[in-house]
Structures are given as structure tokens and as C-alpha cells.
């Protein structure tokens, strides 16, 4: 049994970690830290866990967590995990961070997109990008794992294998639609139910903080024109990527590398995913169309944003890190309906 | 490992059984029968299971299923399970039926509400009503388990313990709102997305086929005025019950019987459930208000209709029947969000 | 042309008034007051009105409004309209209040349910309850019109004609489900999109502030057991009323009084409304079932909560008050889809 | 008063025409044809119109319609309007067709994308493309008006003014998300509520039948890479267009042509539309971002697909054709919420 702690357990990412870990056959939730509700029974704050988790929220204490937990998940908002990750690492804990603070290697990009200086630059180098398909071996030995963002997970899964493909230098066009859980639990006018129901909109065009993360993991081979959207659904990201080959090529062979990936499903040419098939699962499904008329390739991928690129991928990283069966606690099909 | 078969695996109830069983630590899905798509790979018909279940749909064959499976779940529409359940029983299989055909003891009520004669009346007597809280011991030895309906599960959980309470003879008023998955997978004008989105309506007032099931399991002590509704959500039932006590009483002591129930959460006076807290889980949450002004008690319960009263309760029955840990494969908190 | 002013024009009720009045053939929107955004162009704060309304929000000034407007709509939250209505009345304006402050005749009930003393008790007597079907003549001469609440509109339309019917003294059971726009525009955790999507819940059982309003307009003949719910839709209320006749009677003749009502559609026995048919319209549709088995009558009604019992009924009152065609600006069918 | 007839009045486009025309100050609905329900009272088939329209559906009869109606709207599915439009024209009626049959000048493209030969090629030449901003004068005299498709309306509004802008020859990337009403009223597995709620998907990539229409109206200056999506909303289209300028330019001046357009709202640089602001209105809102990093321009537009590019634009064409105020019956703000 792996003893796990979760920091920031009341947010949407943290709740999903609780949900996955409380049914995980080899994990025991030992500690849940949330300063705002510290001292309160977890099941009172989060009644979905009544009868399942019998813990009180505790104040963040790196030493105590490091002592009691084999691994600590950090699920706090962007820019807020630098400090606790550093403290936990210092205290000797293994850390899996689902936030963005340890993903960007180039700290000047971190500053530009997040608006603050990084307070633990030396740890950025130590952190491993928690994308199992490409970093499985490093993850297995990492002390700090930085789980990819949700948009990046949906974009990189179909794109990364194409870094060596004959693609033109025109920026790739990436249009994603995300469910609203991606914006977190804090209420706002924009995400008040009557404002988002029957609504859809684009936002942060050209300056979303996930752009440098995506380009970094594409090895800076491609420039990405990223337009995120939110729509009237809670979970899920559908990403549509239009890329311009130098000459039209068949992308299928590039995806052979995914043959044994337990949570990546390559649907193939002419087969398009939908969110329905991956909701509440750790899968990323994708397919594509080669458009002979235009000479373009259009890739479409689907994930559940709270699992892929968040809690599910984090648990997969934990499984790898601790030598468990990689799919332990994650063998869930998409919820249809 | 329990070898399980599922008959009617493409419907919404069947898919949810597949979803639960494919992640169940002690079950192995051995056969999935669905005559309409027999011969097709399951993962092609139901792409959510790609990479998880490597089976082909087979034609229903009672003998073959009985031979290969420790238990067979039957998940076909109402009136269609009499024949396969009888055949499976004859062939020696243990059967868990999530349909309505073996729930009503009084066959004249079956005829009146379902419009057909029962073709296996002798098996109705053998069948055990699969409500663990009241029939756990019989379930443990049953050859045929008839899992409660989804509305009945949401109504009976709070009401059954009150059969001996001082309630007046005025019919109980039960207003339920169900998600649309309860109507099954067949498309229809009524449940076409643009017709149900932003919509809500009542139907089958006073003649819904779940009424006699509810009254039977209330030991015919109460008459029930049941008004079902459908609303613009996929999963979940919220049931509001207004009962008229002879004199206002405290219902809490009646619920002591549920103290050790793993999937019934008694929230208490003034605490009301919502579907959010039980979605994608096997829990039934309920609470109540004693209204001093009117002298009434109002009980409100919430379930996920595809788990409670359907696939989740069916798996719980299987666990009981085979001496497994009762919560095996079901330790899931509600999905919030 | 009637010159109209709107106080509280940024709220959901106020916006719907703007929407209706800006397309009204005989009304001109002359002033929109909203202290929080005073000075801002209306079309910037509310971009849906760009190109339609060329006004700036102004600070509330009763004298100025009274001078420039033939009628002033007040659309501020409960308890907040006592002061502006009194000031406007004092300044000589005709006022249509869509809030609750001038609906309850019994001021002790106002205090009990709203938690404050009424600051303009003398005006409560002058105010006319803005339900055209019963108060059309008084509305035509009223200086202050208090438009019914949305729940009351949906409840009273089918029930009021039955006050003389042979109904038993058991409290009527009223279960309503409302869209979330009824809770207003302020964001909150409870109505954050991911919390309400796929969710449904009951609230304020037995103590909702609309109870005394309903009982008053039922002439205190019936006691009402009212359980409001919210569900995952933006607009609409579906109300299900279970009443216990002394002996079962045919309600149809009681509804003859509605024969000429332009916005009440009596669907009849066995015909049930749905929100779809009234969305974005001023109609209240209702039908019923006489349940011979239980001896009860179940009435079901549907309205769009932002029109019926809010902006639509307010405009209808204006039409009556100013001798316009009663349906002017309101001849809209429900939006299906 | 203009006497109007509607052919195909039970479909979603037809219903929206009924809804708009029944509140139009200068139109009278004289006839509604729908062969499938001919003889039935309109208000029984479409209960939203009870109390508003007192007609029976009639069988299609071109002569009779031509005699009684000043204009006939044809709202039948694609490929099905060639025959009735020809018959109506022959009978002397003025026709406004909301389907695709008379939009494509190049009949070989019609054959390729619609799979049938055109049966009234001589009328294609006579038909005027019903986009008021560019064809207002021709519309004013047209006998046959072919209202643009919903996707084209959302794409062409921001793009058409840029045909002379310095745009590179790389295909424009157009990703649209549509509400499900765009797929029409016929129920299907794909659009069954539980399959589309919380879902989103792309379809018909690179071969959607609106592609040649868009390219034609872009004067074949641009090639369009069009990826349509459907999401869990009933109404609305959000279109995101990524174009690659030769060198980055300011698009604002190109939109001066829209200054007096009553239903086109140019939001400007950095201002993005959302569906909320146009729902239930005839507006098309659009804005853009010039991305200095990539050198691209991203345009985003929003319409209500049942008004813009369908019933609303059709009524606008009628207003123009008959010399009415262009905005008559259409002065509606977006429904927020």
C-alpha cells in the first residue's frame, strides 16, 4: 500500500485525485491538506466522500506530510505550487504536481506567461514532465513529477509523434473546446450557470499559458496558433489541429510508437473521437483526416480534462513511479452515457 | 475470479455493467450477448471499451453462457427478460436481472402494468428482490436476483423503514425527476437533444409501471401517488416524497437500520441531497424536513439511476451472492464535478 | 408611445424587460437606472443590446424618472424595492414592481418571511397584485402594480380557479422545478456551471418566501406544502400540484373563466405541458390527470420564469394599464427548440 | 399586410419562421404546408402556437399558395426544395428558400456535394443569394431568394470583406461549433439527448456541403479548410477562423462597409463574441485578434443558427423585398440568459 497525501484537495483537480485514489487498489489516502478548511472533516466539506474517506483536512506541513506519505500530490492553482513543492522536496517527499509551475524549462517563458519569477528554479531542472508515453523511464525515478496541463495533453498526444514529419513552417492551428471544470471551482460571472448554459466562446487567443508548454514538448519544431474555447459541458476537451504538410503524408506510421500505450487509442484515418467515449476515463482518443483537396491533415483528439492531463495522468505517474501495474485504479471505460 | 456474462450489453444498463465489471477486482467479463450485433467486436460497437474488453458480441445461448459463466446479468428491456432468464435458469446459471420482469409477486399486477402475461410465473417465486439492505441473506443464496427499478430504489430507500411509522392513510406524494438515460438508448422525438435540452416534463402520472413495485415493497401499507418527470440531465434521479404523519414524528430512529449499509447515506433532518454527490456512484443519499407549519414530513433522495437501482446495485448483489467484499468494484465517490 | 424607465436593468429580470420593451411596438425605453454601473453605456455592460438601445445607465433619481417616464419598472432584488417604489410613487410615477415587496397584504408575514419590517406599509394597500386574469380592472387603474412571483404565477394559474372546488383540508403538495435564472445573476458556488450541470436539488422546503403569497392569492382556503427545486436549465418552471378532492371531480368547468385569457392555455385532462412549449413566451400552459386509483387530481403547469411571473407579465400589466392591446409586444410562441 | 405561406413548417427552420412571422407587425401567416401532417391543426402538431395561429396544415399546392400568398417561404430539407421552388415560381409566387438548393452557381459542385443533379438549373441563375449586406439591391427585386446556410452566414460575415486583403494562399482554417438544432428535428442515435449531453465532436471534415457555398461567396479567392463540430447546446454557431496574412494587417478598415448593417455588429480587435449575446436574435457578432507572435489573424463570430443564416435572415430578406422597414419583426436582443 502506497500512502498518499494530497495538497489542495478541495479543488476540482484535488477532488478527482481523491475520487481515483480512494478506489485505487494499492493506495491509501493518508492526508488531505487544505488550509482554507483545515480541521474540518473531509466528508463534510466534500459530501461525495461520506462513507469513503474518514479524514480531517489538515494545514499544510511539509515535514509531517513527507514523514507520513510515500508520495504527495500537489493540486493547487498555478503559481501556488512552487512553494509547497519546494518545501515537500526539501522535507524528502516525492511529489507529483498537477499544476503548471514545474513544466516549463525556460524560466523566462514562465515569467512571461505567468507573470511572476520562479522561486524554485533549481527544482525545475529536477522535475520530470509527467507524460508517460515519452518520459516513462524518467518518471520511474523522478522525485518531482510535473503532470502536463489538460490542453497540452490533448494537443501533444496526437502531435508529438509528428515532430519529424514533413510539416511546413506555417503555424499549426489548434482550436480546443474545454468543459468548464477546467476553469476551477471558484464561482465567477463568466461561469455562472445561466451565462454558460447554451453558450460557447473563445478566450485568451494567442496568449494562453499552455502555448509555451506545448511548443517546448514539440521540441520547438512547430509554432502553435492556439485558440481555446469553453462550452456548456463540465468535463472534456476536444482538440482540432490543422497542420500543413509539405506534401500530404500518411501519419499512421508515426503512431506506431503508441502501440503499447495503455491510455492512448489511435483511431486512425477518417475516425473521429468524441468526448463521450473518454469521459470519466484516463484515455486520450484521436483520429485524423487527410484532406486531398486542401493538402492539409486535420487531427482531432478527446480527453476528460480532469483525468487526462490532470488526476488520471497523475495517478498513472504514481503507478509508474512505484512500480505498480501502470493501469492500477484506472481501468475505467468512458462513461457513455 | 468470477466469470460473468452480460445479456443485452449494448443498452445503457448493459454498458454500465460492462463499465463496472471491467474495473472490478474479482470479476472477469467472459461473454457479452447482443443478438442485434452478434459477431461484431464489442469495442467497435462500444468504442469506450477499446483497449479494455477484447470480446465479440455473441448470440444468446443459455447453455453456453451457463457453462462458461458463474453469473449472467440480464439487461434487456422490460418484458424481454422472462424468456432468457428462464432459459438461463433452466441451463443452471445464476442470474441477475436488472429488468422488471421478476420483481412483482402479484402476477395480475404484472399483467395490468406491463400488458402481457408472465411466461415464467414459477420463477417469480424463486426470484429475490435485489435490495441488499432488506434481503441481504436471501440474495446470498438466490439463483435469480431481480434488481429493483431505478425509481423504486430512490423511493424505497427513504420510505421502507417507515412502514411502521404513524403515517396517515392519505396517499404519499412522490415526485421524481429522472435523467434521460432512464429512458434507454433508443432515439425518439421526445428525447432528441433539442427537444429535451432546457426542457422538463411530467409523464405517466398515476400509471407508471413502478407503482406496484413500490407499493409491494412498502408491504402495501401505503398508497403512492407517483409523478415521474424527465429533465435535461443524463444521469440521476431526485425523488421528493411528501408524507402526512398522523402526528409529526422524528424519522431519524427509523433509519438506524441503515447504520452499516455501505451505500446508503442518511443525511438527517434539514440536510438535502443533490444528484451531484452521487453521480457515477452506487450511493443513495437522503435527508428530510419536518414541516411544523403543515405537519408534513418531506423526504428527498438522490441516486445515479444507472448505478443505484441498476448496474451498481446489481454488482453489489453479485458481491453478496459470491461472498466477495460487498463494496468490491464499487468504492467510488460521486463525480463532483 | 409609452415612455418607460427601468430601475435595476442589469439583473436578469431587468434584462428581460429591456429585451421585451425594446421590441414593443408602443414603448420607448427612455431610462435605465443601475447604480452600480451608472454612467456606463448600456450596450457595453449588456452587449446583447448593442445596436438596439443607445442609452447610458443612470443613477436612480425618482423625480427625474417620474418626469420623463410614463411608467417605471422596478427590477431590483427582494427587500430592495420598498424604497425606490415609495420614492417613485411620491414623485408621481406609475410603478410596476417585479419584486416581492408589495405583494403581501399581511405585513407580519412579510416580516416573517423576508426578515425585515416593511418601510412603506401604506403603499402596500394601494398596490394591485398584477395577475391580469383576476385583477385586470384594478390593474387598469393602478398606480403601483406588484407583479406576481414566478413560482406563484406557475402555481396560482391552475389553482386559483379551484378555491371553491370540493378539496379536502390536507395541504396541497406543490413540487416545482425552476431554471437557475430564477436565482438571479450573482455568481455563487451553488450555481457555478460545473456544480449545477447534470445536477438537481430541493431547497427551502416549507419556508420559501413565496408560500404566503400563494396562500394569500388562494384566499387562504388551502394550505400549501411547497418544495422548490432547481435543475440544470436556465429558464422555465414546471410545477406539479397534487390535491386531494373530497370526492374526485372534473376540474375542467372551473377553468372556463380562462377562456379569453390571452396567455393562459388550458390543455385539459391527460394533457401535460412541458417547458419547451412556453420558453421565451408569456404563456402559462397547464393540464391535469384525475387519478381514479388514488382519488387525487394532479395538475402540472409550465411557464418561462423570466416572462410569466416576471417581465412578460409586467409588460402585460403595462399594456392593460395604458389601454394598449393586451398582447402588444408579447405575441411570441414558445421557442421550440 | 404581407400574406405569407410556409412550406415545410414543422421542421426547425419552419417553426422558427412561424415564430418570427406570427409576431411580425406587417405579416400575416396565411398558409402552412406540411404534407406529412396535412389536415391537422397547426397548434396541435406544434402546441407552442396554440392561441397564436389558427390554421390547419395543408398539402403543398403551388397554385393555391401562389394565389393566396405574397411570398412563400420554403423550409424543407436539402435537395427537397428544387421541386416546390420551381412549382411555386412557375405559379407566379415569390419564393424565399432557406435550403441549399439554389445557392450554388456551379451546378457541378451541387452535384458533387449533394449527390444529385439539379432539376431546375435555369432557376439557379435567377436566384439571388440572400445575404443582405452584399446583395440588398438584388434581393429587393428578386423572385427567388436563396437564404445562406447557417455555417456560411457565420463564416462569410467576417470573411467576405477581406477578399481584397493581403492574405496568403494557405487555406484558411475554419473551425465551427454548432448547436444541435442545426441537424434538424429528426431523432437519431447521434443526437439522442444522453449521447450529446456533455459531448462534443467534429464531423464531415473537409467534405461538408457548405464548403463550396463559402468559397463561392468568397469569390473563390480563398480555399477554406472547414471543420464543423456539434456540441451540447441547442442553438448557436461559434466560428473561429485563422487566416495567414502576407504581412499582418489591421482588418478594421475592411469592415467599414458594415457600418449601417442593422444585424452585423463588429466588436473590434481583442473583443470576442459569445453565443449568449446573439441567441434568439438575428445578429452576427464578430471580433478578432491580431497575433503578433505568429503573424496570424484570428476572427471569431457568433450567430443563432436558426435566425442568422436561417429564419431571421429570411425575414430580413422579405422585409427588403417588400419595402418594409428592414428590421421589422426582428428588433430582438440576444436572450441573456
- Residue-wise pLDDT for A228-284, tens only, equals 999 999 999 999 999 999 999 999 999 999 999 999 999 999 999 999 999 999 999
255-314 of A, contacting C, C-beta below 8 A:
none
Average pLDDT over residues D166-171: 96
D150, D257, D284, D317: which is the annotated catalytic residue? D150
The domain total for chain C is 2
Q: Is residue A80 part of a domain?
A: yes
Angle between helices B311-321 and B12-22 (to 10 degrees): 50
Give the span between the Cα atoms of B86 and A37, in whole angstroms.
Answer: 55
In this structure, the answer to whether residues B32 and B171 fall within a common structural domain is no
Taking CA–CA distances from C234, the nearest residue in chain D reads D337
**Binding partners of D (≥3 Cβ pairs within 8 A):** A, B, C
C150 counts as catalytic: yes
Q: Is residue A138 part of a domain?
A: yes
Q: Is residue A330 part of a domain?
A: no
pLDDT (tens digit per residue) in D250-298 = 999 999 999 999 999 999 999 999 999 999 999 999 999 999 999 999 9
* Residue C192 touches partner A, C-beta closer than 8 Å: yes
Confidence of residue A35 (pLDDT cuts 50, 70, 90): confident
Answer yes or no: is pLDDT of B122 > 90. yes
In this structure, the answer to whether residues B84 and B156 fall within a common structural domain is no
- Which stretches within A1-131 are classed as H helix? 12-22, 42-45, 62-68, 82-90, 107-114, 121-126
Per-residue pLDDT at C35: 85
Q: Is residue A220 part of a domain?
A: yes
Is the model's pTM score more than 0.90? yes
Q: Is residue C326 part of a domain?
A: no
In this structure, the answer to whether residues C315 and C278 fall within a common structural domain is no
Per-residue pLDDT at B35: 85
pLDDT (tens digit per residue) in D73-84 = 999 999 999 999
In this structure, the answer to whether residues C85 and C173 fall within a common structural domain is no
In this structure, the answer to whether residues B159 and B298 fall within a common structural domain is yes
Cβ atoms of residues C173 and C228 within 8 Å: no
Measured over all CA atoms, what is the biggest interatomic distance in chain A, rounded to whole angstroms? Answer: 63
What pairing do the DSSP bridges indicate for beta strands B237-243 and B296-303?
Answer: antiparallel
Residue C22 CB neighbours (<10 A): 18
In this structure, the answer to whether residues D261 and D130 fall within a common structural domain is no
Q: B234: Cβ–Cβ under 8 A, 6 or more apart, which residues? A: A337, B179, B180, B181, C198, D193, D194, D197, D198
In this structure, the answer to whether residues A22 and A93 fall within a common structural domain is yes
CB contact under 8 A, B51 and A19: no
Alpha-carbon distance A280 to nearest alpha carbon in chain C (angstroms):
14
Provide the residue range defining the domain that includes C234.
151-304
CB contact under 8 A, D199 and A171: no
B283-304 burial: b if 16+ Cβ within 10 Å, else e: bbbbbbbbbeebbbbbbbbbbb
Give the span between the Cα atoms of C214 and C210, in whole angstroms.
Answer: 6
- Closest to C197 (Cβ–Cβ): which among A185, A187, A234? A234
| CA dist D196 → A180, A273, B181, B185 (Å) | 16, 13, 11, 12
Q: Is residue D335 part of a domain?
A: no
Give the span between the Cα atoms of D155 and C29, in whole angstroms.
Answer: 33
C168-180 burial: b if 16+ Cβ within 10 Å, else e: eebbbbbbbbbbb
Give the span between the Cα atoms of D332 and C280, in whole angstroms.
Answer: 12
Give the span between the Cα atoms of B240 and D336, in whole angstroms.
Answer: 31
Give the span between the Cα atoms of D227 and D176, in whole angstroms.
Answer: 6
Based on C-alpha coordinates, what's the Rg of chain A? 19
Report the CATH number at residue C134. Answer: 3.40.50.720
Q: What is the 3-state secondary structure (H, E, C) of chain C?
A: CEEEEEECCCCHHHHHHHHHHHCCCCEEEEEEECHHHCCCEHHHHCHHHCCCCCCEEECCCHHHHHHHCCEEEECCCCCCCHHHHHHHHHCCCCEEECCCCCCCCCHHHHHHHHCCCCCCHHHHHHCEECCHHHHHHHHCCCCEEECCCHHHHHHHHHHHHHCCCCECCCCEEEEEEECHHHHCCCCCCCCEHHHHCCCCEECCCCCCCHHHHHHHHCCCCCCEEEEEEECCCCCCEEEEEEECECCCCCCHHHHHHHCCCCCEEEEEECCCCEHHHCCCCCCEEEEEEEECCCCEEEEEEEECCCCCCCHHHHHHHHHHHCCCCCCCCCCCCCCCC
In this structure, the answer to whether residues B160 and B140 fall within a common structural domain is no
Q: Is residue C330 part of a domain?
A: no
Report the CATH number at residue D193. Answer: 3.30.360.10
Q: Is residue C329 part of a domain?
A: no
Per-residue pLDDT at A227: 98
What pairing do the DSSP bridges indicate for beta strands A57-58 and A27-33?
Answer: parallel
pLDDT (tens digit per residue) in C291-311 = 999 999 999 999 999 999 999
Phi, psi (deg, nearest 5) at residue A299: -105, 140
A69, A150, A284, A317: which is the annotated catalytic residue? A150
Q: What is the mean pLDDT of chain D?
A: 97
Residue B59 CB neighbours (<10 A): 10
Per-residue pLDDT at C201: 98
CB contact under 8 A, C337 and D262: no
In this structure, the answer to whether residues D96 and D230 fall within a common structural domain is no
Per-residue pLDDT at D99: 97
Give the B:D interface size as CB pairs under 8 Å: 62
Per-residue pLDDT at D59: 96
In this structure, the answer to whether residues B89 and B210 fall within a common structural domain is no
Whether the predicted interface score ipTM is above 0.95 = yes
In this structure, the answer to whether residues A208 and A111 fall within a common structural domain is no
In this structure, the answer to whether residues C81 and C222 fall within a common structural domain is no
Amino acid at each position: 500500500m502506497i500512502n498518499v497525501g494530497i495538497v489542495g484537495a478541495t479543488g476540482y483537480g484535488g477532488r478527482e485525485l481523491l475520487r481515483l485514489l480512494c478506489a485505487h487498489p494499492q493506495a491509501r489516502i493518508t492526508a488531505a491538506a487544505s488550509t482554507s478548511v483545515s480541521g474540518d472533516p473531509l466528508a463534510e466539506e466534500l459530501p461525495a466522500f461520506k462513507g469513503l474517506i474518514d479524514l480531517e483536512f489538515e494545514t499544510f506541513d511539509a515535514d509531517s506530510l513527507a514523514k507520513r506519505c510515500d508520495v504527495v500530490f500537489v493540486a493547487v492553482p498555478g503559481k501556488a505550487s512552487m512553494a509547497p513543492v519546494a518545501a515537500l522536496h526539501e522535507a524528502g517527499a516525492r511529489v507529483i504536481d498537477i499544476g503548471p509551475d514545474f513544466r516549463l524549462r525556460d524560466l523566462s517563458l514562465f515569467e512571461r506567461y505567468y507573470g511572476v519569477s520562479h522561486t524554485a528554479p533549481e527544482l525545475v531542472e529536477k522535475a520530470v514532465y509527467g507524460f508517460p508515453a515519452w518520459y516513462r523511464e524518467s518518471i520511474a525515478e523522478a522525485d518531482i513529477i510535473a503532470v502536463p496541463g489538460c490542453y497540452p495533453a490533448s494537443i501533444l498526444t496526437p502531435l508529438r509523434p509528428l515532430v519529424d514529419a514533413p510539416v511546413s513552417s506555417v503555424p499549426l492551428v489548434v482550436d480546443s473546446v474545454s468543459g468548464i471544470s477546467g476553469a476551477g471551482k471558484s464561482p465567477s460571472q463568466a461561469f455562472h450557470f445561466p451565462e454558460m448554459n447554451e453558450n460557447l466562446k473563445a478566450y485568451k487567443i494567442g496568449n494562453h499559458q499552455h502555448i509555451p508548454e506545448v511548443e517546448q514538448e514539440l521540441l520547438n519544431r512547430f509554432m502553435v496558433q492556439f485558440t481555446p474555447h469553453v462550452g456548456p459541458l463540465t468535463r472534456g476537451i476536444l482538440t482540432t489541429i490543422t497542420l500543413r504538410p509539405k506534401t500530404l503524408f500518411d501519419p499512421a506510421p508515426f503512431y506506431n510508437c503508441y502501440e503499447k500505450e495503455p491510455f492512448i487509442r489511435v483511431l486512425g484515418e477518417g475516425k473521429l473521437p468524441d468526448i463521450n467515449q473518454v469521459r470519466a476515463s484516463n484515455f486520450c482518443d484521436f483520429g485524423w483526416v487527410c484532406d486531398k483537396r486542401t493538402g492539409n491533415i486535420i487531427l482531432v483528439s478527446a480527453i476528460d480534462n480532469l483525468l487526462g492531463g490532470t488526476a488520471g495522468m497523475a495517478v498513472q505517474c504514481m503507478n509508474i513511479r512505484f512500480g505498480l501495474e501502470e493501469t492500477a485504479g484506472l481501468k475505467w471505460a468512458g462513461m457513455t452515457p
